Amino acid sequence: MKNKIKKYSIYAAFIIGLIFCIALLFPQVRRLFIDLIAQILLKDPERFLQLWFKQMLNYAMGGIFLIVVFGYCSLTNKGKILVHEINNGIRDCLKGINWRSFTKPVFLMFSIYLFGIISIIRANFYFLDDIGRSVDGFRGWIGFSRYLSEFLSVFINADFRLADISPLPQLIAIFILAISSVLLVYILNDGIITNAGLLASVPIGLSPYMLECLSFKFDAPYMALSVLASIVPFLFIARKKTFVFVSVISLLVMCMTYQASSGIYLLITLVLSFNNWNEKRKTKREILIFLGMVTLSFLSTMVIFKLFLIIPQNDLISTAIFPVSQLFSGVLANINNYYNIINNDFGLIWKAIIGIIFCFYITKTVYTSVQNKFISFTTAIILLCLLFVLSEGIFVLLEHPLMAPRALYGFGMLLGIINISIAVNFNKSAKISAWALSWCFLVFALSYGNALADQKRYANFRATILLQDLNDLFPPDKVENKIAVELKNTIGFTPVVKNIGIHNPVIYRIVPLMITEEGFFNNLYYNVFFNFSPFANPNITNSMLDGKPYVDFSTLNLPIVKKTYYHTIRSDGKRVLVELNEGIK
């Protein structure tokens, strides 16, 4: 009787789901459904309708695909056997892991990462999007196809409306990164976790690019989750079908949290495959089968995400891939840009240590190789070049990829992987080099957090004197017309930031200026957090003037109404241009 109820329940769910998704293919049904969701959950349903009406067609098609797969697995004998095999594979792989051995390593890495970001937490810095989210409570991740981030944020914040609950999100993030570090050491070292490997894995969580991710009060856990999701599949590498299934699910999790992690899965794959070939742990056929499974899993996931889930972007980044005719030249241009950015961001000491650990990796490869030594040497160099390219992930194929520091932490993952590789089962000099890079990043993390605090202090000071001058010049009881304020130039960086930037220029890219003519959230800072205007009020932002199109006030030759050491204010009574000074250089 129970089996019949279960069987007919599956039939009913299959038919109802299929009918619902097919119905969504019709525009009238889509509009009715989206309107219902928008009215229940959103305060701006019309905007939601405009944004998601066409996208719901992709969701409907994806739903049909998912239901068909579900029906195959639930209603056919072959599907049931496949599900049974995958289920047994997951159970057996998990049973084969001594989870108790993870407790101390995870605690160690959590402690290191906590120490590394303690100054960031102390700075209490509202980082870019944090400004809007902390004031308006919006989520907004779904617009970047980060559905899981949108969903999980409701649970973490215990509300549909976000509030600043830091440092909880950042603590969750470093806990996830601690697990990621331990798992990566476990995977790369054949199931053995060593303190040397753990200490070498610090670049995973404290590279300068990951530090920007950890600076976000709201985004940090989901960025960290995307890293963990890219590592988890390799726990199931012993079972082929299970590995492919878990890979697809995990990579979808990565895509729906933060797509900048898209290269991590490939980095681990190549390193494991190379190690197996170099030391003849597996036959060439087994290695090729493994690479085939990885290729199938990765491409399948990217196709599913592209067809059914991705929301095209043209603002912050472009989701468009180069056309075939421009693919080679475009990819080369992206690689060159990627290299130049990292080369300009990193100081001489860091680059020297990275060069040393790369040399140690090549040396260890040749030393442990049972292949021809020259071939092993050449292959190791080619591998490092390929790893560098793949550390950029899928972004290397995009016409206009996001190159902000928070999108480049794949390079930190690459350094972590190489560091772990040379710190385990090799000489003391290699370990010291790996630990030296970890130490450099740990020290930089502490200085970075203090730099954030100092930049915030300075920005608050500049905002205070600017708003005081604006209040004196345009008191609300004497100004008849609404005023529109535009900023020109920037307040610049504090001496503390400039001192760090002498040897570590990346600091200029991960410390926001906070008050500047460029950047939506930077301009909001002096408005919103000082109650100078309601959130996004058009008569105060630098984009509108009484509903009229934006005009660059610097072209109007407005008269000077006040000049100070820190800024010059020009105005005709309605338009206000604030020319910010960085101070004497």
Over 409-470, what HEC string results?
A: CHHHHHHHHHHHHHHCCCCHHHHHHHHHHHHHHHHHHHHHHHHHHHHHHHHHHHHHHHHHHH
| pTM tops 0.85, yes or no | yes
Mean pLDDT of 55-69: 70
- The angle formed by the CA atoms of residues 451, 452 and 455, to the nearest 5 degrees, is 85
Band of pLDDT at residue 422, cut at 50, 70 and 90: very high
Which burial class, exposed, middle or buried, applies to 82 when counting CB atoms under 10 A from its CB (0-12, 13-18, 19+)? middle
Mean pLDDT of 394-418: 92
Say if CB 479 and CB 525 are below 8 A apart. no
DSSP state of 319: -
Which tens digits make up the pLDDT trace of 535-546?
A: 334 444 444 444
What is the chain's alpha carbon radius of gyration, rounded to the nearest angstrom? 27
Band of pLDDT at residue 137, cut at 50, 70 and 90: confident
Which CB contacts under 8 angstroms, 24+ apart, belong to 248-251?
248/297, 248/300, 248/301, 248/304, 251/297, 251/298, 251/301, 251/302
Residue 42 has pLDDT above 60, yes or no: no
Which tens digits make up the pLDDT trace of 290-311?
A: 999 999 999 999 988 888 777 7
Starting at the edge strand found earlier in the chain, the sheet holding 575-580 runs: 484-488, 575-580, 567-571, 560-563
Residue 203 has pLDDT above 70, yes or no: yes
Say if CB 105 and CB 198 are below 8 A apart. yes
Which tens digits make up the pLDDT trace of 221-240?
A: 999 999 999 999 999 998 99
Q: Give the model's pLDDT for residue 584.
A: 54
Q: Give the model's pLDDT for residue 475.
A: 79
Q: Give the model's pLDDT for residue 514.
A: 86
| Lowest-confidence region among 278-292, 520-534, 549-563 | 520-534
Residue 553 has pLDDT above 60, yes or no: yes
Q: Which residue has the higher pLDDT, 410 or 574?
A: 410
Band of pLDDT at residue 575, cut at 50, 70 and 90: confident
What is the rounded average pLDDT for all residues in the chain?
84
Q: Which residue has the higher pLDDT, 335 or 485?
A: 335
| Identity at 430, one-letter amino acid code | A
| Lowest-confidence region among 46-50, 153-157, 336-340, 489-493 | 46-50
| Lowest-confidence region among 334-348, 482-496, 535-549 | 535-549
Q: Give the model's pLDDT for residue 27.
A: 57
Alpha-carbon separation of residue 248 from 124, 138, 335, 358 (angstroms): 37, 30, 27, 31
Residues 6+ apart with CB under 8 A from 375: none
Which tens digits make up the pLDDT trace of 435-475?
A: 999 999 999 999 999 999 999 999 999 989 988 888 888 87
Residue 508 has pLDDT above 50, yes or no: yes
| Lowest-confidence region among 157-171, 183-197, 327-341, 518-532 | 518-532
